[in-house]
Amino acid sequence: MTAGVLLAGCDTDQVSLATNAKANQPVPPKLLAAMVEKNMDLQSPILVRLFKQEAELEVWKQTRNGQFALLKTYPICRWSGDLGPKVREGDRQAPEGFYSINPGQMNPQSAYYLSFNTGYPNAFDKALGRTGSQLMVHGDCSSRGCYAMTDEQIAEIYSLGRESFFGGQKAFQLQAYPFKMTPVNMAKHRNNPNMAFWKMIKEGYDHFEVTRQEPRVDFCEKKYVFDATKPADAKRDPVFDASAKCPAYVIPEDVASAVREKQAKDEAEYARLVAKGTPMARMNTGIDGGMNKIFAAKIPEGSTGLSEGAEGTTLQMLAMAKAPGTIPGHVNPPKPNLDAAAVAPAPQEEPVVAVSAPTTNTRVAAAQPAEKSQGGGFFSNLGRKMGLGTADTTATTTPPPQATASVAPATTSATPPTAASRLKAAVTRFVPGHDKSKDAAKDAPKPTVAAAKPAEPPKPQPDTRLAQTRPALKPSVSDGAGEATQIMGAAPVVQSNSFDSRFGAVK
C-alpha cells in the first residue's frame, strides 16, 4: 500500500525505494555535525550548484533563519563536453541552466550506483528546440553528458536530497554554470559565443548571491526570468510561456536594487580587467570535459582537462591527499578528441591541455632536423677547414633545387676507401679553380639546412603528441586512497521510516 502511495505521488515507475539499501543510507555523522554548527535542520530544503571550470558541486541548505548557507562542496570526478549549454542529443554536453529535481527524478536503481535526473530539457531548452534525455548527476566517475561523482559522494548527496523531501520540499533547485560567474571569469571568456546565454543565467546567479534565497524561475520570449511577481494593480499572478510574449510582471524592489548594485560592481571590475588586458581563454579544440584536480592527481597520466588545474601546487603533491571516494579503474580522464583535433590547429591545443608531455615532444621533434644536418655535415666541415664558408650559416633564401639534388648523392656515396681519395673528391667537388665554383662552395652549407627541412612536413608530430595522451588507463587509485571510505555494496541499517513510507506520509 505504501509503495502504491509512493508511485502515485511520483512521475516515475521506479520500484519502491524502501527495498533499496543504497537509497536509504543515513546522512553521515560529519554532515550532521556540520548542520548543527551551521544552524540547519536535517530535513530543511537544499539547493545544488554545479561549476564545470572549477569541477565542483555545492550543496546549500536552508538555515533556521530562512536563508541558504553552504553545507559542503564536492569535487566533481568527471564531466564531459565543453563549457556551454547542451544543444542536442549525443553532443556529450553536460547541461547548463536552472532545473528542478523532484522525488520522481531520484533513481535508486541507477546503473551508476545512485543518480538523479537533472530535468534537462527545461521549458527554455525546449523553446529553442534543444534535445537530449537522461542527463544525470550520478556515481561511477564516468560521464557522457552528465556530472559524475564517486559512489561515496553521490550517496551523501542523494541522502541530503531524500531528507529534504522528507521535510516537505517538493523539489530542489539545480543551478548548473560553466564557471563561477565572477568578473574575472567573465573577462577571460568574453570572446566565447555562449556569452549572451551566460549573462542571462548570471542574472539568476546574482539573485541567489544577494538574497541567499532560491530564485523563482520562469521563462518567456525564449529567455529566463527570475523572481517575477505580479504588478501591484494586477488581480492574478502572471502566466509565463517560454515561447510566448512575456506577461506584465515586476521584480520586488529590494531584490532588484540589490541585484543592480552587485551588477554595477561586477561590470566596473569587468571593464577594468578588460582594459588591463586580461588574457582571453582559448576555445576548446577537442578536449572532452574536465575533472577536479584531486582526482586527476590520483590517475596515471591524469589531466584536469577544461577544469582548473592545481594552482600553487602540483598534481604530484595532491596525489598524497586522500581521494573523496573510490575511483573506479575504468575512469577515463579528459583528453583531446582526435577527430576534432585533426581539424583544429595544433598549436591551440597545447595551452588548453596544460600537460607537459605534449610540449616536450614537440620541442624534441623541432630539434631533430638540426641534429640530422650536423650528422651529415662531412663536406660542410671540410669546407670550413679549407676556408670556403661557414657551415652553420642559416639560409635566408630558398636554395636552388639543383643544389639540393647535388648534396644527396654526395652524402650517400661518401664511402671511398682512403682519406686521400675523399679529400681529392672534396676538392674537385668544391674548388675546381674558378670564382664560380667558390660561389657554389659557399652555397654548399645552405642545402644542408634545406635538406633537413623536407623531413619536417611528413613528421606526424600533432598526431603523435595527441596519441600519447590516449594510453589505456591503469586501473588503480594512488596509495589506495578512498578505500577506507568505500561504501559501494554496503548494506546499512535501513530505518523503519524509509524513503518509501516517509515520503508517502508527506504526500
Could you tell me the CA-to-CA distances from 102 to 18, 20, 67, 150, 200 in Å, in that order? 17, 18, 21, 22, 24
Give 309's contacts (C-beta < 8 A, 6+ positions apart).
293, 296, 315, 354
Rounded CA separation 411/406 (Å): 9
Which three-class secondary structure string do you get for 394-419?
CCCCCCCHHHHHHHHHHHHCCCCCCH
Please give the grid coordinates belonging to residue 469. Answer: 595522451
- Rounded to whole angstroms, the Cα distance separating 264 from 245 reads 28
Task: Give me the residue label for grid cell 652555397.
Answer: 443
First to last CA, the chain: 13
Task: Give the Å distances, CA to CA, from 488 to 109, 112, 249.
Answer: 13, 11, 49
Longest dimension (CA), the chain: 111
3-state secondary structure of 388: coil
- The values of phi and psi at residue 471, to 5°, are -70, 155
Q: In one letter, which amino acid is 353?
A: V
Distances from the Cα of 205 to the Cαs of 48, 50, 56, 111, 432, in angstroms? 12, 11, 16, 32, 82
Scanning 376-498, the segments in alpha helix (DSSP H) are 378-385, 401-412, 419-430, 435-443, 445-452, 461-467
Grid coordinates given for 413: 656515396
Q: Reduce the secondary structure of 202-252 to three states and give it as a string.
A: HHHHHHHHHHCCCCCEEEECCEEEECCECCCCCCCCCCCCCCCCCCCCECC
Crossing angle of helices 151-166 and 499-506, in 10° steps, is: 30
Where does residue 345 rank: exposed (0-12), middle (13-18), buried (19+ CB within 10 A)? exposed
* DSSP assignment of 313-325: S-HHHHTTSPPSS
Strands 115-117 and 136-138: antiparallel
Catalytic residue numbers read 138, 146
